[in-house]
Structure 1
Amino acid sequence: MNPAELCFRTATDLAAAVRRREISAREVVTAHLEQIERANASVNAIVTLVADQALEEAAAADERLASGAEPGPLHGLPVAHKDLHDTAGIRTTYGSPLFADHVPGRDHLVVERLKSAGAITIGKTNVPELGMGSHTVNPVFGATRNPYDLSRSAGGSSGGAGAALACGMQPIADGSDTGGSLRNPASFNNVVGLRPSPGRVPSWPDKAPWGQLSVKGPMARTVADVALTLSVLAGPDPRSPLALETPGSAFTGGLDSDVRGLRVAWSPDLGGGVPVDPEVRDVVRGAVEVFAELGCEVEEACPDLSGADEAFLIQRAWQMELAYGPLLDEHRQHMSPDVVWNIEEGRKLTGPDLGRAQLLQAQLFHRVREFFRTYDLLLLPVNQVAPFDVELAHPASVDGIRMETYLDWMRSAYLITMTGCPALSVPAGFTPAGLPVGVQVVGPHRRDLSVLRAGYAFEQATLVGERRPAVALADGVRP
């Protein structure tokens, strides 16, 4: 097989082939390193590469398998970790010049779990400065470009991960999501990203371990590969007080499911008040029609999301001040205006502000809980816009409505964050200009598997995710 073609095999197939010793871990890692050499200069997705270390680990993985050792579910698969996740002995910058030479002494929990499952670290993927926002650009490494149009954004904050997946540089990826950072880049890069239920994937170390705003989770090119990665990342850990007890093995079963008769609600604008560009609405409307063709009972409806906006902005600002306030005091001149603004917004908060956010979210939870007594799924736009100009800090307007801050254009994702529901971004189609658009599949509280099964049914019916960017293809590689 052409090495470049190997890089577009699914993680599920690759892992099985390595276990059967049809192909070696070293061959798999070598092929992906060659793909990085081929495509990364165009998109700037992987910003720290540890090729020699990865090849040594791959050789050791082959030796263990030859000796009869039981392989992990990700044995021999290369992974570049998000540059917000600490990697022991490997530079982790958080996209900030303040940490340009930072080398952690320990792995983040998600890195631990991927390694324990047999994955081989090949490097780090690009992020926005300190992970803030859904456009991947920072003063250390610059911008990550969209593989389908290099003049456009790859989204964020897991933008490097999304672009790397789209280009075949890695078969799976880890990421995190506060206001859409697993879903947004999945939509922009024609891949799959899951924001799991809070607690589904434990997090450590964590400055706010009782918080539920930010979650860690998987990305991949297929829903099955996202489920495979989730099966490794999920499960309890004593260092994470909110970790759910359900083991990761709950996600190793088949995703085939008869979706006929499912009651599916959809909204083009999250119930009104959220501007969405017409070309994005059109693609999402087409996705809704596919669910109807699959036998779902579809109607336009949306839970009352009032209060979600205010609750998110308060909790996010509080979280930013908690995480980065001390840096602002000492290094304001080395921080971008958006970062400074968000930290300072956190410093304005009062006790009653935080209490009001909790009350608003509690009321939202119960309204959404009641909504899902009537419906099994909710379909929405992931993003309000298609991938935008990479030179912009953020979209200036959406469907004629001015965006005042770098967060405003992300409301279609961050309002769903506040519900606490699992949400999946699945490739849904392309704009007339050839830019990817995803559909957001939202399920009831802690029904992550139901969301994955619905996304899988849609994916198999459309195969939109099989469309590859030209920048990632070598001569003789099938698109």
Structure 2
Amino acid sequence: MPDEIWQWSAVQTADAIRNGLISSREAVAATLRRIEEVNPVVNALAEVLTDDALATADEADARRRSGELLGPLHGVPVTTKINSDQAGRATTNGVAAFRDAVVQVDAPHIENLRAAGAVFVGRSNTPSFSIRWFTDNQLHGRTLNPWNRERTPGGSSGGAAAATATGMGTIGHGNDIGGSIRYPAAACGVVGLRPTPGRVPHWYGPWDTDMLLGTQLMEVEGPIARTVADVELGLRAMAAPNPRDPSYVPVPLQGLPRGRRRAAVLRDVGVASLDPAVDAAITTAAGWLQDAGYEVEEVELPLFAEAWRLWWQLVQGVEFDDLGRLIEEHGDDAIRRSADLQFAVTKRMHSDFGLDAYVRGYGRRGTLMRSLQLFLQDFQVLLTPVSAERTFEIDADVQDVDRMEQVINAQWPMMSLAFLGFPGLSVPVSRGDGLPIGVQLVGQKFREDLVLQAGRVIEARNDVSAPITPSFYAVAETARR
């Protein structure tokens, strides 16, 4: 094990606490010291819960001594995202107008993490309204990528990914409707899982509030961690049954064995040019899978391009009105400009945002889902880019409409998968120009186990290790002194 407890994985920490090698208080105190050291530089956590975390850790230690049955994350330090309801905290979603929106009841996925024994050490930062791939807002400020401060840590779970990458918690809770787990994980050199919709129970807002159809069908909660094993542990905790989500599906986490191990490779669907470094990472990952016994085959799947376009038409084009009004009323300049440019690009793609287009689009969704499900009968996993570009420069989405179009086009692997409703794992492969580059692994619905299995193959051979101390930390320390 590493010397410092904050460097330990979630699996190592949970095992050590369960076996009495360390106490939860020791693990949490070490993590809080790390947060005190690094968070002022990276700004990944919008809120640090020192007193609550230490009190919860002491409770966890007392329960272990009493011989209680322990959950999978008993006493383990975890971060949660500021766009999810957590009892006694404000669900700010990075918006100043919501700074006092304190809730009294946990969201189902937060309730599950708490029931699993997780100790919440902090609340991770997001962009305003959680709709950018760049984590910055007027209320909590900007989160920096710990590998390079000139590049985005991703969004909307950029705070969760940056905190996890720097040792400010073993697992970070995130959510994803268009890449908000997978892109930050890739940008920060960690592992992020978008589970199958229905795998992890969730719901937003008061229980009598109607969620938009796209949110109900496509948004998921999932774990971000430094290892595939930790992601698997986080999934086990988050996926416990909870009756407050009507779409929850009680499917076992481990599926039936498959026959031949086959992996399909999808590089391009004609939407965006593939950066050579990203292309090289896919080739490398495919080679590692082949070395591990997978039969690897390059494929073409134009349905991904159609799914990507439909995401923008239905989610951003048709369903955006209510959120757009909130952004206009309560948003800061950056989120207003980003939203305006997103819609401008959407209008370049589509001219019809009426009810008929909405109904046809969701009808088409089922056909595309069926096609991908049939395709995956012959493959355990599908390997794709996470993004066609390397990690974006800071605020690439607010430069102008042409750059926004490039940003949106590059993200086709994530938007399309969210639209289709299949699980996806972002796992790092290599470091290009000092920045991590990841790939996406896609599997059949509710076969996260097969995706994680392939992720472990890639993880075993990559050269991206975390936790890290930010490369600019020493410079920031000198400036502060």
| TM-score between the two structures when normalised by the length of structure 2 | 0.88
Cα distance in 1 for residues equivalent to 2:323 and 2:473: 43
Partner of 1:327: 326
Q: Output the CA distance in 2 between the equivalents of 1:350 and 1:366.
A: 25
The answer for the alignment partner of 2:20 in structure 1 is 21
Structure 1 residue 333, shift from structure 2 partner: 7.3
- Structure 1 residues 71, 376: closer, same or farther in 2, change over 3 A? closer
Q: How does 1:434-449 map to 2 (within 5 A)?
A: 434-449=434-449
Give, as a single letter, the amino acid of the residue that structure 1 aligns with 2:129.
L
Determine if contact 2:137/2:332 at 8 Å carries over to the other structure: no
Partner residue, 1:178: 177
Partner of 1:380: 384
**Cα distance change, pair 395–284 in 1 and its aligned pair in 2 (3 A):** farther
Q: Which string of whole-angstrom CA distances, capped at 9 and with x for unpartnered residues, describes residues 88-124 of structure 1? A: 1123310112213322222111111111111111121
* Identical amino acids, percent of aligned pairs: 35
* SS of equivalent to 2:69: coil
1:79 partner letter: V
Query: Where in structure 2 are the equivalents of 1:398-477 lying within 5 Å?
Result: 402-404=403-405, 407-431=408-432, 433-460=433-460, 462-471=461-470
After TM superposition, the structure 1 = structure 2 runs for residues 94-173 of structure 1, keeping only pairs within 5 Å, are 94-173=93-172
* Aligned equivalent of 1:48: 47
Aligned partner of 1:393: which letter?
Answer: D
Q: Distance in 2 between matches of 1:351 and 1:217?
A: 32
TM-score normalized with structure 1 length: 0.88
Shift of 1:46: 0.6
Q: Which moved more, 1:319-328 or 1:127-136?
A: 319-328
Alpha-carbon distance between aligned partners in 2 of 1:2 and 1:372, rounded to the nearest angstrom? 39
Distance 1:130 1:390, change over 3 A: same
SS of aligned partner of 1:150: coil
Checking the alignment, whether the CA contact within 8 Å between 1:199 and 1:244 is kept in structure 2 is yes
Higher mean alpha-carbon deviation, 59-68 vs 204-213, is at 204-213
| Of 208, 212, 227, the match for 2:211 | 208
Q: 1:356 to 1:137 in 2, by over 3 A?
A: same
* Match in the other structure for 1:241: 246
Distance in 1, matches of 2:352 and 2:48, equals 40
Question: Which amino acid in the other structure matches residue 456 of structure 1?
Answer: R
**Does the 8 Å contact 1:265/1:298 carry over to 2?**
yes
After superposition, the Cα gap between the structure-2 partners of 1:107 and 1:78, relative to the gap in structure 1 and judged at 3 Å, is: same
Is the CA contact 1:236–1:246 (under 8 Å) kept in the aligned structure 2? no
Matched residue count: 462
- Which amino acid in structure 1 is aligned with residue 435 of structure 2? L
> Which residue type is aligned with residue 316 of structure 2?
A
Q: CA deviation at 1:276?
A: 2.2
Aligned residue number for residue 284 of structure 1? 282
- Is the CA contact 2:108–2:242 (under 8 Å) kept in the aligned structure 1? no
Among residues 355, 358, 365, which one is paired with 1:354 in the alignment?
A: 358
Q: Using the TM superposition, give the Cα deviation of residue 7 of structure 1 relative to its aligned residue in structure 2, in angstroms.
A: 1.2
User: Structure 2: which amino acid aligns with 1:112?
Assistant: E
- Alignment deviations for residues 191-220 of structure 1 (CA, whole Å, 9 cap, x no partner): 111111111111123632762121111111
Is 1:177–1:214's contact at 8 Å kept on the other side of the alignment? yes
Structure 1, gaps ≥5 residues long: none
Deviation at 1:173, TM superposition (A): 1.4
The amino acid of 2:294's aligned partner reads: C
Shift of 1:181: 0.7
Aligned counterpart, 2:394 = 390
Report the alpha carbon displacement of residue 165 of structure 1 after superposing the two structures with TM: 0.6
* Contact in 2 for aligned 1:178/1:214 (Cα 8 Å): yes
Q: Which residue of 1 aligns with 2:374?
A: 370
Task: Please list every run of 5 or more consecutive structure 2 residues that lacks an aligned counterpart in the other structure.
Answer: 475-481
Residue 223 (structure 1) aligned with residue 221 (structure 2):
no
Once the two structures are overlaid, the 10-residue window that deviates more, 387-396 or 135-144, is 387-396
Residues 44 and 143 in structure 2, CA contact (< 8 A), matched pair in contact too:
yes
Shift of 1:451: 0.8
Shift of 1:409: 3.2
Take 2:138 and 2:32, find their aligned partners in 1: how far apart are those partners?
25
Instruction: Check the 8 A contact 1:263/1:377 in 2, yes or no.
Output: yes
Change in Cα spacing, 1:44 to 1:338, as seen in structure 2 (3 Å) is same
Measured after TM superposition, the shift of residue 39 of structure 1 is 1.2
Check the 8 A contact 1:196/1:217 in 2, yes or no.
yes
Q: Partner of 2:309 in structure 1?
A: 310
In structure 1, C-alpha distance between the alignment counterparts of 2:175 and 2:306, rounded to whole Å: 24
